[in-house]
Amino acid sequence: MAIKMAVPNKGRLNERAVELLLKSGIDLGEDWGRKLYVTAKDQNIEIMFIRAQDIPAFIATGAIDIGITGEDLAAESGYKIKKLMDLEFGACRLSVAAPESSGIKNIDDIPNGAKVATSFPNLTKKFFKSKGKEISVIEISGAAEIMPYLGISDLIVDLVASGSTLKMNRLAEISKIMDSQAAIYSSDAALKKNGAEIDDVVASIKSVMTAEDRKYLMADVPKSKLEQVEKLLPGIGGPTVLNIAGNDKMVAVHVVVRSRDVYKAVNDLKRLGAKGILTLSIERLVE
Ligand code: AMP
């Protein structure tokens, strides 16, 4: 039976989540953008496009086996779901912010009874309770930044990435509640039933993320410098060294290097007399 996977249907997490699936070789077909779900036949996976905030509930109830959503949404849902892997995108933090003009600089300055507008009522209540503050939560579904301006609340709890939206609305961030990024989630029940299939999806996505951070480097290097080159480019278990037909002075070296090391590697190789240096993108890398 196919496993069911949920992907955010729109919003900030949609584009990269879909990109990771496509790069993993999960075939979404031609017109996936217009469908609520597609079946990747060759991989035996049904992909459902669901609102990011609904995905934790779908996982917890067993309606789907695995899903991509934000850590903030998983925490706010309160459902007992299992994080399998961080996806290193959608980075933001859930923070308390107050109008710059309020004079509130930290949590201690907040008077009891303050009104806090947020679309994260559960995390907000929990946070203020842990600080021993009695506040009242005004639950809203978006545009928290405008609430103090309208006199609806004294403070807000909202997601912040760069902080520029807060600044634009003359709000100051006074305390962080949690960091968040996109992640892959599942449940104990799904893992028990479809653990191998779920592992395959996670491993595929991981291989894409690893590959994105690496380059395949090839160069012809003088045999006499091979030892120095090997020290320079340890690769995954050492570089591959190949003979070049008709040339007994040079060998071809193939190695996987971190993208950030390519600049130095190419220059070092040049200095050692390497020729025909080239780098290629890697689609997937299973270490
Ligand atoms: P959506 O409402 O569907 O666009 O998705 C919102 C989710 O994107 C949040 O719950 C976070 O997990 C993530 N996210 C990342 N950066 C931000 C940001 N600056 N503001 C709001 N959400 C963000």
30 Rama sector, left if φ>0, alpha if ψ -120 to 50, beta otherwise = alpha
Q: What number does the ligand 1 atom closest to the CA of 69 have?
A: 12
Q: Tell me the C-alpha distance between 174 and 112, whole Å.
A: 16
Contacts of residue 101, defined as CB under 8 A and 6 or more positions apart, other chains included, come to: 170
Note whether 266 and 207 are within 8 A (CB): no
Ligand 1 centre to CA of 157 (Å) is 13
Tell me, in angstroms, the distance from the centre of ligand 1 to residue 5's CA.
Answer: 20
The DSSP bridge partners found for residue 69 are 183
The CA distance from 205 to 202, in Å, is 5
Alpha-helix runs per DSSP H in the chain: 14-23, 55-60, 71-77, 121-130, 164-168, 188-212, 226-232, 262-271
Q: Output the six-digit token pair for 71.
A: 């850590």
Residue nearest to ligand 1 atom 14, measured at CA = 90
Mutate to test the pocket of ligand 1, among 7, 9, 13 (most ligand atoms within 8 A of CB): 13
Q: How far apart are the first and last CA of the chain?
A: 29
Atom of ligand 1 nearest to the CA of 73: 10
CA of 162, closest atom in ligand 1: 19
What is the chain's pLDDT, residue by residue, as a tens digit (287 residues)? 789 999 999 999 999 999 999 999 998 888 888 889 999 888 889 999 999 999 999 999 999 999 999 999 999 999 999 999 999 999 999 999 999 999 999 999 999 999 999 999 999 999 999 999 999 999 999 899 999 999 999 999 999 999 999 999 999 999 999 999 999 999 999 999 999 999 999 999 999 999 999 999 999 999 999 999 998 887 667 789 999 999 999 999 999 999 999 999 999 999 999 999 999 999 999 98
Ligand 1 site residues, Cβ closer than 6 angstroms? 8, 11-13, 52, 70, 72-73, 90, 92, 159, 161, 180
Rounded to the nearest angstrom, the distance between the alpha carbon of 254 and the centre of ligand 1 is: 41
Task: Give the C-alpha separation, 104 to 100, whole Å.
Answer: 8
Long-range contacts of residues 54-61, Cβ cutoff 8 Å, at least 24 apart: 55/6, 55/8, 55/185, 56/81, 56/185, 58/6, 59/6, 59/185, 59/186, 59/187, 59/190, 60/187
Which atom of ligand 1 has the smallest separation from the CA of 12? 4
Instruction: Read off the pTM.
Output: 0.92
Which pLDDT value is given to residue 41?
Answer: 80
**Strands across the sheet containing 171-180:** 135-139, 114-118, 155-160, 92-99, 171-180
3-class secondary-structure state, position 89? coil
- pLDDT for the residue numbered 236: 65
Closest ligand 1 atom to Cα of 11: 4
CA of 124 to the centre of ligand 1 (A): 17
